[in-house]
A and B are shown apart, each in its own frame.
Chain A
Amino acid sequence: MEEGVVNEILQGPLREVFDSTQLLTDVSGSGNNWAVGHLTYGLAYREQIVDKLRRAAEHCDCLQGFFIIHSMGGGTGSGLGTRVLSLLEEEFPSVSRIVTAIYPSTEDDVITSPYNSVLAMRELSEHADCVLPVENQSLLDIVNKIKVMADGAKPGSVIKRDSTIISGQGGLTGPEKPFDAMNNIVANLLLNITSSARFEGSLNTDLNEIAMNLVPFPRLHYLVPSLTPLYTLADVSVPSRRLDQMFSDAFNKDHQLIRADPKHSLYLACALMVRGNVQVSDLRRNIERLRPTLPFVSWNQEGWKTGLCSVPPVGHSHSLLALANNTCVKPTFIELRERFNKLYRKKAHLHHYLHVEGMEQSLFSEAVASLSSLIDEYQLLDASKGRLTPDAARLSIAT
């Protein structure tokens, strides 16, 4: 809802890629106010948005899914973004909606980000098919780790050029801007998720398969992403060990895109999307090796979705994206609720929201209630160790 960012893209090297009629900008922005984004601009631009979406959809032979990418802490991204999400559900109910949401870190500079995030969470829980939460702090940690590796320069451990997940592949960009490295990681996440749909492989995995396999209950659709490898060393790689290391790393906290601890929480489902020259025997061997260390829910003990794509990403010989539906997102949500409550108790900044036409205080309480019930659902799974019902007796047949 402000012109600066979009104009920059239009003047940058990717200007040919974007259709200029499919852009929507306003002048003054949303002031980090979810209500302004969701209600004011949502109403004002509804027609235009629906029109542009329809136009884009008509160009497709077969529309499989929508990617919605926005932050949770701001005004436009979280507010207007979630409005677009519910518009998509209305207009294209059978097309899956996958949201990549950037959650604010604890040291966030937007004061009202807890309000925006919680109000947006409710929309995500209700209207999205699948959410990939990403935290800026984790991205920053990964960037720093790579920089340390690059600068440390132990002999024999020089990083191959253009092979980190933060380097701008293809070298299109000019001077690097501060968030570019972090955004590159998220871009790589989206590349890997769509790789099987774009390239061939011996075990293809489409986007709708991901939504199908990783979402056992409609509201529990928050998937923790983790990417490996972060970089490729320039020296000759040791094949097998490097490969196994890649699988172990995927379950390492350092490679996750949100700060959470899946190994000590309960896995509901896990997807491994492998790219490159990896065979099914390597995959099986690693699954068998890692399986005993990961706590899976009782009714999904072998809950693995695997995908093999033959084409590796640029600069790597193979890569792995792990998506886990895990109760470890519960602490993240609890923290979010805490920050929200801290502000809400004092009614701080509330007037900015209530001034907006259509906004009521009840929306706040409903949003936090929705978040609480989501947390409770995860809590229930955790508490019962995933054993929702005792092992049901099998049907017996009269003989």
Chain B
Amino acid sequence: MSVVSVQLGQCGNQVGQELFDVLCSDAQDGQRNKYRAISCERFFHQTDRGAELEARAVLIDMEPKVINRCVSRATKCSRWSYGSSSHFSQKQGSGNNWANGFCVHGPRHRDVVEEMVRREVERCDRLSGLMALMSVAGGTGSGFGTYLTQCLRDAYPTSFIINHLTWPYSTGEVIVQNYNSVLTLARLYQLSDAIVVHENDTVHKICSQLLNIKHISFSDVNRVIAQQLGGILQPAFTTHSHGFYSRSPIDELVSSLACHPEYKLLSVSSIPQMPSSSIAFTTFSWPGLLKHLRQMLISNTKMEEGIDWQVRPPSGAGCTGSGFNRSVANLLILRGKDVYSTETSGFEEPSLYSSWLPSVEALNVWKCPVPFHKYEKSATLVSNSQALLRPLDHIVAKAWNMFASRAYIHQYIRYGISEEDFLDGFTALEQVISSYKQLC
């Protein structure tokens, strides 16, 4: 079953291009045939010439430069390419204005874009789900992306739609990023089945402290994001796939994690993360990796260095211990050698989870004996937990502060968004924050 990706805006397109690179090279690098076949079927379309792989993706941006670069980079590497009629661009951009993306570009280009997505979907034998890649800070990814998600939800009511969001640096990439984030998240919460989030701040830290990259560029950041996503999306054996590679990755992802409509924010951690030069000198052991990953989950850190080992799940009743990150549900994906003999009971303790979901249902484990990305053993944890609570709270606080002075509001009103829409967005997100805060 296939996944169709929609890449929106500069960030979405750049991340998407890195993602397909990772997926293609992982599938084709001397891996086992079944794995390769499934991975290629899932993400690529085999053209008639046989050897050529075309990504199952639609590229959308309101200005042409980024898409042109993505398409030419993909063709240059000659392992895969983008379909020639799968991109849509305009000339003028969205001006970092959510209202411009949502109210102006959305309706204007709806038909053309929907047609492109439909064409990609029809090329799949069976559709597992749709994945939209976008940022929340800009205008096209956030505004047009939200509008398109709404259209896709109407057009494919029985398919799963997940949105991958990149949250900007908290010290600012775009001045109105908090407004754009609030407006996007509030609506996506109703439209999307699950929202997978990467924060630029966190990934930047991974690049500098774990991967030892001296001059971090956006390509480095995007590559880390792509690798973490690859670790989630590549084929694996799930509990429901009965000895075969799972055919419905998106369905199983959503059903294992997004079990309650108020809890949809998913964060990703993976272990190990190290520079390629160090891999040859490291030995990996599952107990060590899983122990670290468990503590990373509990103490809410995305890095395997500098973990706070003092944080423990609270022993008695009561909502939170200090610094403890409570989960609604977790998905653990293990790849590599000796994966069937791993001991994952550390993730099954009821004290990690909320009281209304038994831990045996809250934890799902997927396994795959094929090593991913040069690591002999690697684990990815997709977590529906309080991990994103604090960043979300900050975004809403800053946006609210700015809204109180009505700064920049005239720019949004000009394109059709009213103060009411802002207030609705704030209300929706305060509700989400409250739900996560009170997780018990």
Number of interface residues of A (CB under 8 A): 47
Q: Is B216 an interface residue (CB 8 A)?
A: yes
Known contacts A208-B92, A269-B175; decide if A202 and B217 are in contact (CB<8 Å). Answer: yes
Q: When the two chains form their complex, are residues A298 and B172 in contact, meaning their CB atoms are under 8 A apart?
A: no
Q: Is A211 an interface residue (CB 8 A)?
A: yes
Interface string of B45-87 (1 = CB under 8 A from A): 0000000000000000001011011000000000000000000
Q: Is B173 an interface residue (CB 8 A)?
A: yes
Q: When the two chains form their complex, are residues A212 and B434 in contact, meaning their CB atoms are under 8 A apart?
A: no
* Set of chain B residues within 8 Å of A349, measured between Cβ atoms: none
Interface residues of A in 48-62 (CB under 8 A from B): 61-62
The chain B residue sitting closest to A269, CB to CB, is B175
Q: When the two chains form their complex, are residues A288 and B97 in contact, meaning their CB atoms are under 8 A apart?
A: no
* Set of chain A residues within 8 Å of B97, measured between Cβ atoms: 208, 212
* Set of chain A residues within 8 Å of B434, measured between Cβ atoms: 397, 399
Question: Once the chains are docked, how many angstroms separate the CA of A81 from the CA of B80?
Answer: 53
* Set of chain B residues within 8 Å of A41, measured between Cβ atoms: none
The chain B residue sitting closest to A63, CB to CB, is B92
Q: When the two chains form their complex, are residues B95 and A206 in contact, meaning their CB atoms are under 8 A apart?
A: yes
Distance between B195 CB and nearest chain A CB, rounded to angstroms: 20
Q: Is A45 an interface residue (CB 8 A)?
A: no
Q: When the two chains form their complex, are residues A204 and B66 in contact, meaning their CB atoms are under 8 A apart?
A: yes
Q: When the two chains form their complex, are residues B173 and A203 in contact, meaning their CB atoms are under 8 A apart?
A: yes
Residue in A202, A301, A304, A399 whose CB lies within 8 Å of B14: A202
Q: Is B171 an interface residue (CB 8 A)?
A: yes
Interface residues of A in 169-225 (CB under 8 A from B): 200, 202-204, 206, 208-209, 211-218
Number of interface residues of B (CB under 8 A): 51
* Set of chain B residues within 8 Å of A200, measured between Cβ atoms: 65-66, 68-69
Q: Is A161 an interface residue (CB 8 A)?
A: no
* Set of chain A residues within 8 Å of B109, measured between Cβ atoms: none
Q: When the two chains form their complex, are residues A281 and B174 in contact, meaning their CB atoms are under 8 A apart?
A: no
Question: Once the chains are docked, how many angstroms separate the CA of A282 from the CA of B215?
Answer: 7
* Set of chain B residues within 8 Å of A216, measured between Cβ atoms: 405, 407-408
Q: Is A306 an interface residue (CB 8 A)?
A: yes
Q: When the two chains form their complex, are residues B217 and A302 in contact, meaning their CB atoms are under 8 A apart?
A: no
Known contacts A281-B217, A303-B172; decide if A395 and B405 are in contact (CB<8 Å). Answer: no
Interface string of B427-439 (1 = CB under 8 A from A): 1001100100010
Task: From A68-76, A338-346, A371-379, A384-392, give the one contacting chain B.
Answer: A384-392
Q: Is B326 an interface residue (CB 8 A)?
A: no
* Set of chain A residues within 8 Å of B260, measured between Cβ atoms: none
* Set of chain A residues within 8 Å of B175, measured between Cβ atoms: 213-214, 269, 300, 303-305
Q: When the two chains form their complex, are residues B63 and A395 in contact, meaning their CB atoms are under 8 A apart?
A: no
* Set of chain A residues within 8 Å of B173, measured between Cβ atoms: 203, 304-306
* Set of chain B residues within 8 Å of A284, measured between Cβ atoms: 169, 171, 204
Known contacts A279-B217, A281-B216, A397-B434; decide if A299 and B404 are in contact (CB<8 Å). Answer: yes
Q: When the two chains form their complex, are residues B172 and A302 in contact, meaning their CB atoms are under 8 A apart?
A: yes
Q: Is B342 an interface residue (CB 8 A)?
A: no
Distance between A85 CB and nearest chain B CB, rounded to angstroms: 18
Residue in B10, B63, B68, B176 whose CB lies within 8 Å of A212: B176
Known contacts A218-B410, A299-B401; decide if A304 and B171 are in contact (CB<8 Å). Answer: yes
The chain A residue sitting closest to B221, CB to CB, is A280
Q: When the two chains form their complex, are residues B176 and A213 in contact, meaning their CB atoms are under 8 A apart?
A: yes
Q: When the two chains form their complex, are residues A62 and B91 in contact, meaning their CB atoms are under 8 A apart?
A: yes
Known contacts A203-B10, A208-B93, A395-B426; decide if A281 and B431 are in contact (CB<8 Å). Answer: no
Interface string of A356-399 (1 = CB under 8 A from B): 00000000000000000000000000000000110110111101
Interface string of B215-238 (1 = CB under 8 A from A): 111110100000000000000000
3 residue pairs, one from A and one from B, having the closest CB atoms: A208-B95, A62-B91, A304-B172
The chain B residues found within 8 Å of chain A, CB to CB, are 10, 14, 63, 65-66, 68-69, 90-93, 95-97, 139, 169-176, 204, 207-208, 213, 215-219, 221, 396-398, 400-402, 404-405, 407-408, 410-411, 426-427, 430-431, 434, 438
